[in-house]
Structure 1
Amino acid sequence: MADERTPGPGPRAVTRRQAVGALGLAAAAAGAATDAAAQARPRVQRGEASLLYPHESPTRAIRDLSGLWRFQLDPGDRGEADRWFETSLPKPRHIPVPCSWNDLFDDARDYFGTAWYETDFHLDPAWRGRRVCLRFGSAVYRARVWLNGEYLGEHAGGHLPFAFDVTGLARDGAANRLTVSVENRLALDRVPATPDPKTSHFYLQDYPQTAYDFFPYCGLHRPVVLVATPDIAVQDLTVTTGFAGAAGVVDVTFAVNGGWSGPASLVLSGGPTPISAPVEVKAGRGVGQIRVPAVRAWSPEDPHLYRLSVRLGGGEAPIDEYGLKIGVRTVEVRGSEIRLNGKPVFLTGFGKHEDFPMHGKGLDLPVLVRDFELLKWIGANSFRTSHYPYSEEAMMLADEYGFLVIAETPGVSLVFSDPPDVIEARYRQLERALGELVRRDRNHPCVIFWSLANEPIPKPFHTTDEAPVGAVEAGTQFFKRLFARARDLDHTRPVALVSVQNGPPEWVGQGDVICTNSYNGWYAVSGQIDEGVATLEREIAALRAHHGDKPVVFTEFGADAVAGVHAHPSEMWSEEYQADLIEAYWKTLRRHAFIVGAHPWAFADFKTAQSIMRVGSLNQKGVFTRDRRPKLAATRLRALWGSSGR
């Protein structure tokens, strides 16, 4: 949930409780003055906002506030002091929501400071007497929110949802003004981080300087919605599945606000006939189980989804009903295998990015569907959400398509040569993001394991200074805490982190699956595919020596290729070199039974910071161009994945 502390500007700062109480009285008085019917409105007390995805049901309604909003940059950080949240934006222009701001305006491409969003909305008269929540799918990086001039709270960290209960704050019968400030400053103590040039001696400069190789797009990247529910409603829901012979077992735990107690039921549809199970909710907690005879197990070959509904109340008309699609499946690590429904799987697919021209990292449903169609065309069965949580819509669509997903936190390029207080600040942020990620995505059958970080390193990339003594141990302790937290949050899935060139083994070895990125033939032994393969074989032997029989996934390998550049014999930057290197890696990896996945980097070209390594500010390791045209490597992989099995 969003942080609801109220640091409110100036002498008018009040406590959160005072603000809510005063505003509740004001809203009630305004409602009575503008609409006599409001006097009869049932009183609904504000509470904690649910973070469940806003699915509609007979008891729930959704209003999408996406569209054209008013927008203004605030390079001097004057907006809060000048109370723009009360007076509206002084010189706004239009911006689409969801979208990144960087590709839209000439003065905003490399702007990472504060910017303001503003829109107006009316409540549906049918929502009177109902609880109303305001939900943001993602704001990068830090958002502060006001409604009708009153501060609601803030959320730090992009890519994950946050929400506020605005019951009584959102006015009936009059326009409501929603104001949001968003900033994405590149800071040393954030996740992901920006190196400190005062302490890191770079031999390669990027602009903007980041510790990661993708562009730091900013803004409201996912939908903003209003959700109307009954006063008593399902607040949270956890589904775990398994098998008992030919039957499926669906265990459900759910929470109801207000400590409510009473009868409820679970209903599962999607089979020959609906299956119901009664549940008795006690003090806001319900626990139930459904057994599914002759169950259709969810898998890439048959991504069958059932619909689960939780209904509160014992009558024909439920007090509340919340429903979602689920898949019945199990995932486990056994020896050197990752097993889905008891059978070993081999992961073919990619790391990829939420990235497209104009939209930046803003949710783009046509691109999402096209990407999944191309994944099917090429023969992929999986992808990694590198290097941050992807949209909820992407996860739901992956459930439908049957893709296996490695769900990754925003912990990219963590550096352990930085001061201890900085490392601890990052840990707190990453632990919070991990909790938000697991809570959001734990019910998706597509998610087969969690990745806690990508390429954590003892010292920054592109620096000449040595890593200090103790950096490896600092990382070891950091990840020991984080792995323990992940396993506490979800005991049903494996956990891993993604290393670069195998190390440090003290970090990656804490995972249930060993994930590694390897760039022989590109960053190492450049231009020499044969020597790259020889080096790769040595890496594989080292992995086996360090980590025993744990399964290994090569989560990145490949080369940049500029579309249309050809060479014979193949050479770096040509489409032929990229295709040849990927094929050489693929054939080498498939000779080792304990290697259970191969994800070339990357699915498609994507925008990066400007640098001498990135022609056109693009990482061009994609097997598709940024606008999704196939390179030679795409057709080569399609042939390999079709003929070699998956």
Structure 2
Amino acid sequence: MLTPKITSTREVLNLDGLWRFDLDAAVGEEPWRATLRTTREAPVPASYNDLFPDPRFRDHVGVAWYQRTVRVPHGWRGTRVMLRLDAATHEAAVYVDDDLVVTHVGGYTPFEVDITGHVTAGGEFRLTIGVDNRLTPSSIPPGSVDTDSLGRPRQRYMHDFFNYGGLARSVSIQSVPAERIDDITVTTEIDGTSGLVSYDLVTTDLTPGAEVRLRVLTADGTVVGASSGSRGVVEIPDVRLWRPGAAYLYTVVAEIVRDGEVRDSYPLAVGVRTVEVRGNRVLINGEPFYFTGFGKHEDSPVRGKGHDPAYLVHDFELMRWTGANSFRTSHYPYAEEVLDYADRQGIVVIGEAAAVGLNLAIAAGYLGQTEVTTFGPRGAFGDTTRDAHAAHLRELIARDKNHPSIVMWSIANEPDSRDPGARDYFAPLVSLTRELDPTRPVTYANMILAQHDTDVIADLFDVVSINRYYGWYQDTNDLAAAEAHLEADLRGWEASFHKPIIVSEFGADAIAGLHAAVDQPWSEDYQTALVAMYQRVFDRIDSVVGEHVWAFADFQAMPITQRVDGNKKGVFTRDRRPKAVAHALRARWTSLSQAKNPE
């Protein structure tokens, strides 16, 4: 699915702004059949939970309704009109006037529908979207809904971040030709001083005489290669590579031409680079790469998970200030604008699926249970969940496959990889990921309950990624013991798998402004000391090729007693003020950028 773009043959009408809005209980039955009976409005894109000082919205479980009137530009006569939602968390039903035109399950990937037969160029239509925030055992991420003692529905889930709902990304309509390019897949290789761009175009049925053409342009618009046909390879002499910290993007222009006229045209930014795992190293363009950076969240005050270009730019500038060269899209696909920006800025990304919470053993630990089954026929997550997981991976890779910034896929965060059923669950998903994209390594983020000698799936993956909290959840307030246990843990993984190791999460909560002369959890000083201890260990383990601190910024979490106004493990506060650890990271990472990633 191609991102909507304005070209010589396509137009886009963005529908962001204020929409009529209310919850299912307030709008009556079949609210799409008339103007919503409400004076309340909500912005798109934004989560709705924090907009109104009312717990009915903050804690809502179920469907929320958005509605607006849309006028189709009169110049769109004779074209196809597509409606696209960049995301709807977590399930959507979309109505044009009285007609249901599309449904979609999955809160972090886009979907679109041809509404040409429902609208008229120059005319208006009523667009109504019902967005359901409920998670179930067969959704990705999973959850469950039960009823409390007062008869109210309550959402339960096994991930830490708050379950924001609504239309957190853009909505648009676009005009496209009937004869058009529907998809482009690009992969790149390096051959000496040349770059090889392989492409595969998907088009609608073409009329006789129509021809597919492709050109490759430099950043200044100079044509450096061309080809014809739906598949092919274009060689770029004296290629400029896309490199971490030094992005260079070519533009691939795909066209359908008939009778000398361009019937459709679509430009795609392409970075020429390679990624591979060799021994215990991750190589980008044949050179070892050491990951420095963060796990992040799409999270900000008021907006929740709503995409905001101001926060996008500011967050990247803060990452650049710390010396970070990478981040993981924990724990779901981010807005595509984030990846476009990473492509242009030369920031490396590990793209992660929304498969978080596939671990009943975490809850068992809290409740004192000793035996639980997460996967398989007797577990909570079986074939139905895996099918949903596979569908999500297909949509994720279909959307993000062409981004040079993405160098690795993470297909799950902290699953119960000690459970014997985990292998039957994950082996087909790893195979699917490699089938969909054979050019990138595959990983998942391991949780401490599965050690190197009890994990049953790590051998399936190319890179070992582990989340560890020695000194916080284990060895609390004892950094000496934490250091010894962390080193033993990492050496066990190194000896067992001989693969690159990324420590994909480590850190500690810290209250901004809290200081202590001696070790004291929740102080900025303890957070700084803990992170420094981890880094000392990393420098002693040859196979460690990356360090991603958890987390970039404080974020809103589920309302439990361990979380006072959210998770406070951020290097920055939720409104992006640096804690003391940010300065320590800046000192280390700016020096590492030369020592471990020389130009």
TM-score by length of 1: 0.85
Counterpart pick for 1:139 among 88, 92, 96 = 88
Q: Is the 8 A contact 1:65 1:224 kept in 2?
A: yes
Counterpart pick for 1:454 among 413, 418, 443 = 413
Letter of the structure 1 residue corresponding to residue 253 of structure 2:
S
Q: Which residue of 2 aligns with 1:627?
A: 575
> Within the alignment, does 1:248 sit opposite 2:195 as a pair?
yes
> Within the alignment, does 1:561 sit opposite 2:505 as a pair?
no
Q: Is the 8 A contact 2:20 2:38 kept in 1?
A: no
Alignment of 1:581-592 (within 5 A): 581-592=530-541
Counterpart pick for 2:466 among 516, 526, 547 = 516
Q: Which residue of 2 aligns with 1:223?
A: 170
Counterpart CA distance in 1 for 2:353 and 2:486 is 27
Counterpart CA distance in 2 for 1:64 and 1:393 is 14
Alignment of 1:462-481 (within 5 A): 472-481=419-428
Q: Which residue of 2 aligns with 1:71?
A: 21
Task: Classify the secondary structure of the residue corresponding to 2:474.
Answer: coil
Counterpart CA distance in 2 for 1:558 and 1:375 is 17
More displaced, 444-453 or 183-192?
Answer: 183-192
RMSD (Å), alpha carbons: 1.8
> Within the alignment, does 1:265 sit opposite 2:213 as a pair?
yes
Shift of 1:279: 1.2
Q: Which residue of 2 aligns with 1:374?
A: 318
More displaced, 300-309 or 572-581?
Answer: 300-309
Aligned pair count?
566
Q: Is the 8 A contact 1:508 1:515 kept in 2?
A: no
Counterpart pick for 1:104 among 32, 51, 56 = 51
Counterpart pick for 1:543 among 476, 481, 493 = 493
Letter of the structure 2 residue corresponding to residue 266 of structure 1:
L
Counterpart pick for 1:408 among 352, 368, 371 = 352
Counterpart CA distance in 1 for 2:545 and 2:259 is 50
Shift of 1:318: 0.8
Check 1:271–1:151 CA distance in 2 against 1; reply closer, same or farther (3 A cut): closer
| CA offset digits 1:322-361 (Å, max 9, x no partner) | 0111100000001111000000000000000000011100
Q: Which residue of 2 aligns with 1:166?
A: 115
Task: Classify the secondary structure of the residue corresponding to 1:606.
Answer: coil
| CA offset digits 1:380-414 (Å, max 9, x no partner) | 00000000000000000000111110000000021
Counterpart pick for 2:235 among 257, 271, 291 = 291
Letter of the structure 2 residue corresponding to residue 456 of structure 1:
P
Counterpart pick for 2:179 among 227, 232, 244 = 232
> Within the alignment, does 1:177 sit opposite 2:177 as a pair?
no
Q: Which residue of 2 aligns with 1:640?
A: 588
Counterpart pick for 2:520 among 567, 571, 580 = 571
More displaced, 584-593 or 62-71?
Answer: 584-593
Q: Is the 8 A contact 2:157 2:357 kept in 1?
A: no
Percent identity for Structure 1 against Structure 2: 40
Counterpart CA distance in 1 for 2:144 and 2:75 is 51
Shift of 1:112: 2.2
Q: Is the 8 A contact 1:408 1:452 kept in 2?
A: yes
More displaced, 264-273 or 176-185?
Answer: 264-273
Q: Which residue of 2 aligns with 1:613?
A: 562
Q: Is the 8 A contact 1:265 1:276 kept in 2?
A: no
Q: Is the 8 A contact 2:137 2:385 kept in 1?
A: no
Shift of 1:306: 0.8
Counterpart pick for 1:423 among 356, 376, 382 = 382
Q: Which residue of 2 aligns with 1:28?
A: none
Task: Classify the secondary structure of the residue corresponding to 1:258.
Answer: coil
Counterpart pick for 1:434 among 378, 388, 393 = 393
Q: Is the 8 A contact 2:295 2:550 kept in 1?
A: yes
Alignment of 1:13-32 (within 5 A): none
Q: Is the 8 A contact 1:208 1:610 kept in 2?
A: no
Letter of the structure 2 residue corresponding to residue 278 of structure 1:
S
Unaligned segments of structure 1, at least 5 residues: 1-50, 199-206, 281-285, 459-470
Q: Is the 8 A contact 1:209 1:609 kept in 2?
A: no
Shift of 1:298: 0.2
Shift of 1:587: 1.7
Task: Classify the secondary structure of the residue corresponding to 2:481.
Answer: helix
Counterpart CA distance in 2 for 1:422 and 1:589 is 35
Letter of the structure 1 residue corresponding to residue 297 of structure 2:
H
Q: Is the 8 A contact 2:356 2:415 kept in 1?
A: yes
Letter of the structure 1 residue corresponding to residue 270 of structure 2:
I
Letter of the structure 2 residue corresponding to residue 564 of structure 1:
G
More displaced, 257-266 or 517-526?
Answer: 257-266
Q: Is the 8 A contact 1:505 1:546 kept in 2?
A: no
> Within the alignment, does 1:340 sit opposite 2:284 as a pair?
yes
Q: Which residue of 1 aligns with 2:368?
A: none
| CA offset digits 1:128-174 (Å, max 9, x no partner) | 00111000000001100110111112001111000000112112332
Q: Is the 8 A contact 2:477 2:519 kept in 1?
A: no
Q: Which residue of 2 aligns with 1:30?
A: none
More displaced, 168-177 or 418-427?
Answer: 418-427
Shift of 1:175: 1.4
Task: Classify the secondary structure of the residue corresponding to 1:88.
Answer: coil
Q: Is the 8 A contact 1:112 1:186 kept in 2?
A: no
Q: Is the 8 A contact 1:387 1:411 kept in 2?
A: yes
Shift of 1:278: 3.1
Q: Is the 8 A contact 1:100 1:359 kept in 2?
A: yes
Counterpart CA distance in 2 for 1:539 and 1:508 is 14
Counterpart CA distance in 2 for 1:420 and 1:71 is 38
Q: Is the 8 A contact 2:82 2:173 kept in 1?
A: yes
Unaligned segments of structure 2, at least 5 residues: 148-153, 361-372
Counterpart CA distance in 2 for 1:253 and 1:312 is 14
Shift of 1:420: 4.8
Counterpart pick for 1:534 among 484, 492, 513 = 484
TM-score by length of 2: 0.92
Counterpart CA distance in 1 for 2:591 and 2:4 is 42
Q: Which residue of 2 aligns with 1:55?
A: 5
> Within the alignment, does 1:128 sit opposite 2:83 as a pair?
no
| CA offset digits 1:473-494 (Å, max 9, x no partner) | 2111101011011011000000
More displaced, 310-319 or 417-426?
Answer: 417-426
Q: Is the 8 A contact 1:275 1:290 kept in 2?
A: no
Counterpart CA distance in 2 for 1:349 and 1:406 is 11
Alignment of 1:177-196 (within 5 A): 177-194=126-143
